[in-house]
């Protein structure tokens, strides 16, 4: 509800004033980011009173440690992390012109923000370098898809104006 109110009060009129294409693209990106935050951080509403009531677990800095140790469902987690960030890499250059390095930077920063916040939520969440790597790969794949489909996107956007 809070994100919907923020959208309506702060962003909707500002983006609408820039045209319906800008409104559409920015709204899609806003919904996407809201869903990612929901999936990755949502127990935070339940945990707010206890947010600092547990030790902060430092980030696991060994890449693909769980995979090589055979712990958990790491292949599934790796695939899901890549898939989760593909839309980010695809949508970001539509929101604002980007090159490959800026896509990598913003994807890494977005992922790092999520990873560093997760251990604050409760004692069961942990930050992992593997997630940073796989999320960044997902952003890169999304950007490559954007490059491939850019002519089609430009054609569609020209008809929406």
**55 part of a folded domain:** no
**What confidence tens digit (pLDDT) does each residue in 72-123 have?**
899 999 999 999 999 999 999 999 999 999 999 999 999 999 998 888 776 6
Question: How many structural domains is the chain composed of?
Answer: 1
What pTM, to 2 d.p., does this model score? Answer: 0.89
**80 part of a folded domain:** yes
Alpha-helical (H) ranges within 7-99 are 13-16, 20-41, 44-47, 65-69, 74-95
Calpha distance 32→91 (Å, rounded): 9
Q: What percent of the chain has pLDDT over 90?
A: 70
Residue 42: per-residue pLDDT:
76
> Range of 33's domain?
2-50+60-160
Smallest Cα–Cα separation from 115: which of 66, 59, 76?
A: 59
Residue 52: per-residue pLDDT:
62
Tokens of 1: 């509800």
């Amino acid at each position: 509800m809070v994100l919907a109110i923020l959208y309506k009060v702060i962003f909707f009129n500002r983006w609408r004033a820039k045209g319906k294409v800008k409104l559409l693209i920015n709204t899609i990106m806003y919904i996407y980011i809201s869903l990612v935050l929901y999936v990755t951080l949502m127990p935070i509403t339940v945990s707010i009173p206890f947010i600092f009531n547990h030790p902060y677990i430092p980030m696991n800095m060994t890449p693909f440690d769980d995979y090589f140790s055979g712990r958990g469902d790491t292949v599934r987690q790796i695939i899901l992390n890549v898939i989760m960030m593909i839309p980010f890499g695809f949508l970001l250059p539509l929101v604002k012109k980007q090159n490959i390095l800026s896509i990598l930077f913003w994807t890494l920063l977005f992922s790092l923000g999520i990873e560093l916040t997760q251990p604050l939520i409760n004692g069961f969440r942990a930050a992992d370098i593997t997630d940073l790597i796989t999320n960044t790969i997902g952003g890169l794949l999304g950007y490559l898809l954007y490059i491939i489909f850019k002519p089609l996107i430009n054609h569609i956007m020209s008809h929406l104006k």
